[in-house]
Amino acid sequence: MKNFLFRLYLAAMKLIARFTPVQDNKVVILNGAGRSGSNGYLFGKYLYKNHPEYEVTLVEPWPSSHLSLKTWRQIGAAKFVITTHQPFKVHARQINIQFWHGIPLKRMGFMANNTSLKTDQRNANLWQKNADVVCSSSDLYESLMSACCAIETNKYRKTGFPRLDALKNPAISKKKLLTDLFKAEDDGAQIGIYMPTFRYEMDDRQIMTQVEQGNFFALPDFDAVKLNNSLKKNHQYLIVKLHPYEMNLFKHLRSSFSNIAFLNNDYLYQLDIDLYELLGNTDFLITDYSSIYFDYLNIDKPIIFITNYLRQYEKKRGLLMGPYEEIVPGVCVKTQQELIKALVMPDQFSQKRHYWLNLTNEVQTDSNCENVFKLLKIEGKL
């Protein structure tokens, strides 16, 4: 019922916005990715800084039923509507440029185990109707997206993704990260970040209970004291960046450990930065089934994969490539004991990382943002 009412709301607002005159230099960014690798937010920052001839409006969060009529008129006036999630535009005079928010690793749309055909068909129709251009990084990316969302091949443009510019050019120094998050000074520090996928969708109350109790890894032998002692011994510091839903479970928690810190969105908004603007200054990544690891390949640093719920996740939603533990470019662990060992292992996966980087990113340029800007100029003249 809520979905039906929201679609009704969107239809009404689009009707109002449709009568606003379109301005050729106006760009509106509908940011549904928050500050966790948002192509939209980061491209907007690029335009603000480098191309003031364009009038940019950032709308976040998106979608939302709480936008003002003024905002809807700004959406209707934009020549370019840039989206990070489902493609959207008010009328045919606009050009929708679809960034999306990650290289697909988890099954979605037609490929997912936990969606309905009716919903998948409706979403595919929206892609076909509203997406004029889909920014891409590789043939593999296009194959995965089309398998899930039935996107026509002529919509793709290999521009690369704006978030990778930020990843390779951090705005926040490693020293500031240590000071802000750990209150530490350590010339030999190695900073890691843990970013799991959205685990709530596994419908396993046991997992969420573990997270609520402080076991953010949801590992069977989790012991925060032992983990912190190991990190401290090896001059390692761990940033824990959970999905926003899981972070809500931690609102009452503050890490009492010297080498473990929770990163929430408040820190990012206070500094007016995206996660990727500090991610490049981390030294290793820990994840499970999050597609962030494809992006992390661009800075060629070690990745550790937690796979204790792999079979359950494959059954519930599914992954687009496999066997997972054989193809990922890093050590796979199922216990904290294995994780602690992996954290001090010599890196032996550089060659495998380069292999997957070449498959997922064929756009090797200095500025993906500049590539997208050139695309605006070309599409605006058509």
Q: Which residue has the higher pLDDT, 204 or 329?
A: 329
Annotated domain spans of the chain = 2-160+364-381, 168-360
The three-state secondary structure class of 317 is coil
pLDDT value at position 339? 98
Burial class (CB in 10 A: 0-12, 13-18, 19+), 24: exposed
Name the percent of the chain lying above pLDDT 90: 76
The reply to whether 168-360 shares the fold of 2-160+364-381 is yes
Q: Is the pLDDT of residue 2 over 90?
A: no
CA distances in angstroms from 301 to 52, 128, 233, 305, 330, listed in the order given: 35, 37, 21, 13, 10
Q: How many CA atoms lie within 13 A of 27 on its CB side?
A: 28
- The CATH number that domain 168-360 falls under is 3.40.50.12580
pLDDT at 16: 74
Who wins on pLDDT, 31 or 364? 31
305, two tokens = 């994969």
- Is it the case that residue 199 has pLDDT exceeding 80? no
Is the pLDDT higher at 209 or at 30?
Answer: 30
Q: What is the mean pLDDT of residues 202-230?
A: 84
Tens digit of each residue's pLDDT (9 = 90 or more) over 80-126: 999 999 999 999 999 999 999 999 999 999 999 999 999 999 999 99
Reported as a single tens digit per residue, the pLDDT across 329-341 is: 999 999 999 999 9
Mean of all residue pLDDT scores within the chain? 91
Tell me the pLDDT band of 33, cut-offs 50, 70 and 90.
very high
Considering the segment(s) 2-160+364-381 as one domain, its CATH architecture is: 3-Layer(aba) Sandwich (3.40)
pLDDT recorded at residue 299: 97
